[in-house]
Amino acid sequence: MYNFKRQFLSGPYIIWIVGFIVLPILVICYYGITDASGSFTLENIIAISEPIHMKALLLSLKLALVSTLLCLALSYPLAMILNGLHVKHQSFIVFIFVLPMWMNFMLRILAWQLILSNNGILNTVFQALGLPRVSLLNTPAAVVFGMVYDYLPFMILPIYNSMSRIGNDIVDAARDLGCNKFQVFAKIILPLTVSGVLSGIIMVFVPALTSFVISNLLGGGKVLLIGNVIEQEFMQNTNWNMGSGLSIVLMIFVIASMAFMNSHNKEGEGTAVW
Amino acid sequence: MEKELIHLSHISKSYDGSLVLDDLDLKIRENEFMTLLGPSGCGKTTTLRLLGGFETPDAGSVFFDGADITALPPNERKLNTVFQKYALFPHMSIAENIAFGLKISKKSKSYISDKIKYALKLVNLDGFEKRSVDSLSGGQQQRIAIARAIVNEPKVLLLDEPLGALDLKLRQDMQYELIRLKEELGITFVYVTHDQEEALTMSDTIVVMNQGYIQQIGTPEDIYNEPTNAFVADFIGDSNIIDGTMIKDKLVNILGVTIPCVDTGFGQNKPVDVVIRPEDVELSDPPNGFMEGDIVSIIFKGVHYEIEVRANGYDWLVHTTKLFSVGTHVGISVIPFNIQIMNKPESSDEKAVEIDV
C-alpha cells in the first residue's frame, strides 16, 4: 500500500512524459513511415538522399559544428577567467552571462537582424570609421553569429561548473608534485573539465543542428537548414509524412551525436547545468 | 645536533590588511619532526604554505640548505606537501596518483612501478594500485596522499593537519604510523596541527604559535613542564592559571596565601601569572595544605578523576586517582617545584598571549 502511494506521486510526470514526449514521437514515427493514404512506405525517410535535402542536412551539420567549436573556443577561456576571479564577483559575472537567456529568444535574434542588416548598426559604425560596408545578413555567417550568441551560455555554464568544482588544493598538490602552470592545465584542469565540455557540446550542437528560427530570421530564406526543410514540409506543403520522415532522420543524428559524446565521457558524472 | 636545513628569516605576511605573521624567525634542522601548534588563525598554516611555495612573504626570506628559495615556485622546491583534505586527483587511479610526481620528473617506467610498490607497502596498502580514489576511506586516502608525496624523496615533508578529518581511533593509529614513517625515511617532517596531544606524541620539537607570533619552541617535555607563558600553559593541557604577586625570590602570593616556590629573578612585589598543572595539585584532609576548599564537582575521566575545588574564590582544577565525594572539605597543597611563575605580558608581541586564553 505504501509503495503504491509512493508510485502514485509519479503519476503527473508519467502523464506528462506519455502525453507530451512519447506520444508525439510515436505520431511522428507513424507519419514518417506511411504515405498520405496511410499505407506503409520508407520513401519519406529515403527522401533525405534527395540532393536538396542532403545539402540542407550537410549545411546544418557544418553550421552546428562551426557554432559549437566557436562557442567552445570562447567559453573555455571565459570559464577559466571566471573561475580565477575573486569569489565575491564570480556569481555576479556568471549572472551577466546568463542574463540574455531570460530574454525572449525571438527578440534576441531580431536584435541581431537589426545589427547585421545592410543599413544596420554594424554598417553604420563601419561607415563612421571609414571601413567598407559588409553584407552579413542572409549569409551562413550571420546564422552562425546568431547561434553562437544564443547558445554561448549553454557552453559556459557546464564548463564553469566543472571547473569550479576543482579544489584549490588539487591544483596546489599538482604544483607541489612538480607541475608548472601549463602542466597543471594539461594534466589536471583539462581532464577534470572534460565532462563539462562534453555536456556543453551536446547542449550547443543539438539545438544548433535542429534550429530553424535563427536561419529563418538571419538567413532570410537563403540559408536552408534541415530544420527549415522540415518546417516547410509541415507548414507550407502540409506534407506531414515527408516532414516526419525527415524528422526521424534528424533525430537519429541527434541521438547518434549524444551517444558519441556519452561514450567519451569516462567520468560518467554529467556536469549538465540542470 | 643535526645541521640546519630550513631557515625562515624575519617573515611577515598579511592578508587584506590583517597581519598573519609578524617578523617570524624559525630554524628547522635536518631529520627533525617539527610541529607548528596553535589555535586556528595563529599563522601555522601560512607558515607551512610559505615553506611549500604557495605563498610569498611580504617581507623576509626562506632559506633551504643555505640557498634563498623565497621566490621559487612550488614545483621547483625539494619538498612535498600532504594536504588536509588529501587532494588526491579524482580522475586517476591510486597508482597514477602516486606516480604523478615521478612522471612529471620523467623517471623510467620500471623505477616508477618499483616506487609505487614500495610506497604502498610503506603505508600498508599493498595491492591498491588499480583502485579508484572514491573507493577508499578517509584514512586510506590520507595514506595514499602521504605515499604520493614521499615517492619523490623530498628532503622535507610538509603535513597540513593531515589527520584533522579522521576519527579519533584512526587518528591515534596514524600518529604511530607517521612516527614509524619518519624513522624509516629519515627525512624532516614539518607538521601543522591544532591538536596538542598529536603534537606531544609525535614531535621532536614543538613550535607553539598564536596571533602570528611564536610563543615557545621546545621539546614536548619542555613545552609541557616549563611553559614560558600563560598562553602556552593553557593551550598545552589543562592548567590552573592564577594571578599572583612575587613577594621576593622563591616566595609567591596567590589568592591571599603566601607559598614557597623555586623561581627567582622576578623582583619584589611584581604581579605574575602562576601556573599549576591539575595533576600537581594534592588534596588532603584539613588542616593539611596551604589552602582549604570544598569539592564542587567530580567527573570520572577513565585514568583519573577531574575534580573542581572552590578555595579562596578560585575554582581549582585537580586530577587525582583518589576517590573523593562532592562537598568534602579538603586541604590543597602543591610542592614548590611544580609551581610555575610567569611574567605578565608587557610588549606587543607578548600581548598575543592574552587573547584566546
The DSSP string of A216-258 is HHHHTTSS--HHHHHHHHHHTS--HHHHHHHHHHHHHHHHHHH
Q: Please indicate, yes or no, if residue A44 is contained in any of the structural domains.
A: no
Residue of B nearest to A194 (CA): B91
Smallest Cα distance from B81 to chain A, Å? 7
Which of A177, A178, A191 faces B91 most closely, judged by CB atoms?
A191
Q: What is the pLDDT of residues A158-175, one digit of tens each?
A: 999 999 999 889 999 999
Choose the closest CB to A167 out of B87, B145, B149: B87
Of A167, A177, A267, the CB nearest to B101: A177
Q: Which domain holds residue A241?
A: 50-263
Residue A163 lies in a domain: yes
A4 assigned to some structural domain = no
The span from the CA of A254 to the CA of B251, in Å, is 91
Which residue's entry shows cell 592574552?
Answer: B354
List residues of chain B with CB under 8 Å from any CB of chain A.
52-54, 73-75, 80-81, 83-85, 87-91, 100-101, 104-105, 145, 148-149, 152
Residue A195: CB atoms within 10 Å: 24
Residue A38 is assigned to a structural domain of this protein:
no
State whether A169 and B148 contact (CB < 8 Å): no
Peptide bond connecting B287 to the previous residue in cis, omega within 30 degrees of 0: yes
The answer to the question of residue A215 being in a domain is yes
A12 occurs within a structural domain? no
CATH number at residue A119: 1.10.3720.10
Q: How many domains does chain A have?
A: 1
Q: Which of residues 244-273 of A touch B (CB under 8 A)?
A: 267
Beta bridge partners of B252: B246, B259
**Residue A237 domain-assigned (yes or no):** yes
pLDDT tens, residue order, chain B (357 aa): 578 999 999 999 998 888 899 999 999 999 999 999 999 889 999 999 999 999 999 999 999 999 999 999 999 999 999 998 889 999 999 999 999 999 999 999 999 999 999 999 988 899 999 999 999 998 899 999 999 999 999 999 999 999 887 888 888 888 998 998 888 888 999 999 998 889 999 999 999 999 889 999 999 999 998 888 888 988 888 889 999 999 988 999 999 899 999 988 888 888 999 999 999 999 998 888 899 999 999 999 888 999 999 999 899 999 999 989 999 999 999 999 999 888 887 655 555 554 443
Residues A55-113: tens digit of each pLDDT: 999 999 999 999 999 999 999 999 998 888 877 778 888 888 888 888 888 888 888 88
Residue A166, in any domain of the structure: yes
Test B81 with A176 for CB contact under 8 angstroms.
Answer: yes
Distance, in Å, from the CA atom of A120 to the CA atom of B328, rounded to the nearest integer, reads: 97
Among residues B169, B343, B310, the alpha carbon closest in space to that of B244 is found at B343
**Cell 586556528 maps to which residue?**
B40
Q: Is the ipTM of this complex over 0.85?
A: no
Stretches in chain A below the pLDDT threshold 70: 1-4, 265-274
* Alpha-carbon distances of B147 from A170, B89, B102, B117, B128, rounded to whole Å: 16, 13, 12, 10, 12
Question: Which residue in B80, B81, B104 is closest to A179 by CB distance?
Answer: B104
